[in-house]
Amino acid sequence: MDMPVSHASDIDLFTDEALADPYPLYRALRDVGPAAWLNRHDVWFIGRHDSVRAALGDWQTWSSAGGVGLNPTINEAWKNALICVDPPVHTQMRTLITDRLGPRQLEGVQKTIVQRAERLASRIAAQRDFEAVTDVAHDLPIGVLMDLIGWPEDVRGGLLELAAGSFDACGPDNPRMRAALPRLEAMMAFIADTYDRGRLAEGGFGWTIADAARRGEIPREAAIGMLAGYVVAAFDTTIAAIANGLFRFAENPAQWERLRAEPALLPSAFNEIVRIDTPIQGFARVATRDVDVGGGIVVPEGARAIVSYASASRDERRFPDPDRFDIGRRPLDHLGFGLGVHGCAGQSLARLEAHAVFGALARHVTRFELLEPPQRALNNVIRCHARIRMRAHA
């Protein structure tokens, strides 16, 4: 596709260097205009806050039904996942999740989550030296969500191993994407086998989805797609957010001191964690018509665009000094959880878990210290860490 030079860029967002620190590149692309054509990948990039917000709020124009990835293999594999289905089918499928994982429905597990977080914080304070990803960030998302979904105990370890890195498969056709495909295929087969053998625990969220399929309310393939989508999204994103938050507080001890002194800032603090290091950097959408996005740029019908939540949440047009971590910012309009009909269906659970973890740690730990430079887990979609060795000062 031939694009005006003024609206195009040779920036490659998927090199190792770009994935390690994408934010200067996002800023450069925002400066191109409301949308920029990426020559390297034949896809548009939408990164300004107002443009991303408009796209996410208009599913009729910016459709997910063509897949949210940048290659046909993942879009075919995930065609029945909730994120890849538009209304009215999406509405029926999403209700199965919100009926079980909405704020009111989670009241019954809140006490369990808070108690588990308190035990975790007490253990970390006594242990002192710990690894933030496996010792802390994994604890609640894995321990609580596995029970909520109702996965059999004997399959949990294998499922987690297969799910790790699955978002890489959403990227363009590059080595990282190709390396993720066998694991993705194995995970889908693993989940389908568990579903077909009726091994989901009765009463769990997974059972609710399976029961809806048995009654003919949704197809079998949709049930499996929903289970797979929730496994990947719920684990990777919440784990990434908690680990990212620990890293930010270690680098910004004054912000941790402020949270300890003002516990009421906890919701604002988690919003700031998600804003400054948005776990899902962006998903693709497909234009269903010619779209005038402003600045003399028209995205043609049928074109695919990366709608970047992470870029929008660092947009200096909306957030003053956007690269500064400030828990008093109260960024209620960050787009880290998406927006509109495809906004994160599990964000109530993610908030509940993160609030419990950071709230408990604030009662037990006076400050965090980095013991070595953290290691990023480079991923085509997720902003996450592989390893953060830290010390907790009790």
Question: 284 pLDDT exceeds 90?
Answer: yes
The pLDDT of residue 78 is 81
Asked if residues 129 and 391 have their Cβ atoms less than 8 Å apart, the reply is yes
Please determine, for residue 135, whether its predicted confidence score (pLDDT) is greater than 80: yes
Residue 383 above 60 pLDDT?
Answer: yes
pLDDT of 110 higher than 90: no
> Any residues with CB less than 8 A from the CB of 242 and at least 6 apart, and which?
136, 137, 140, 141, 353, 354, 357, 358
Can you read off the two tokens belonging to residue 42?
Answer: 């034949």
24 exposure class (CB count in 10 Å sphere: 0-12, 13-18, 19+): exposed
Reply yes or no on whether the pLDDT at 85 is more than 70: yes
What mean pLDDT is predicted for residues 102-130? Answer: 88
CA distance 370 to 244: 13
- On average, the pLDDT of the chain sits at 89
pLDDT in tens, 323-334: 999 999 987 789
**Among the listed ranges 38-47, 215-224, 273-282, 337-346, which one has the minimum average pLDDT value?**
337-346
pLDDT of residue 100: 64
**Lowest model confidence (mean pLDDT) among 185-194, 278-287, 337-346:** 337-346
Asked if residue 1 has pLDDT above 70, the reply is no
Residue listed under structure tokens 């191109």? 32
pLDDT at 393 over 90: yes
Task: Provide the pLDDT confidence category of residue 140 given band limits of 50, 70 and 90.
Answer: confident
pTM for the model stands at 0.91
Element (H, E) at 45: strand 43-46
Across 7-16, 143-152, 180-189, the highest mean pLDDT is recorded for: 7-16
Look at residue 200 and tell me whether its pLDDT is greater than 70.
yes
Percentage above 90 pLDDT, the chain: 58
How much of the chain is in helix, strand and coil states, percent to nearest 5? 55, 10, 35
Residues 132, 294: Cα–Cα separation, whole Å: 43
- Rounded CA separation 166/68 (Å): 14
b/e burial code for range 267-301 (CB count within 10 A of at least 16 → b):
ebbbbbbbbbbbbbbbbbbbbbeebebeeebebee
pLDDT band at 54; cut points 50, 70, 90? very high
Identify the band that residue 6 occupies on the pLDDT scale cut at 50, 70 and 90: low
Cα 355 from chain centroid (whole Å) = 17
Task: For residue 232, name the pLDDT band (cuts at 50, 70, 90).
Answer: low
Q: 104: how many CB neighbours lie within 10 A of its CB?
A: 9
Over 80: is that where the pLDDT of 4 sits? no
Question: Where do the H-state alpha helices sit in the chain?
Answer: 16-20, 23-32, 49-56, 72-77, 89-101, 107-127, 139-149, 156-163, 175-196, 205-214, 220-251, 253-261, 266-276, 309-312, 347-364
pLDDT single digits (tens) 290-311:
999 998 899 999 999 999 999 9
Per-residue pLDDT, 240 = 92
What is the pLDDT at residue 373?
A: 96
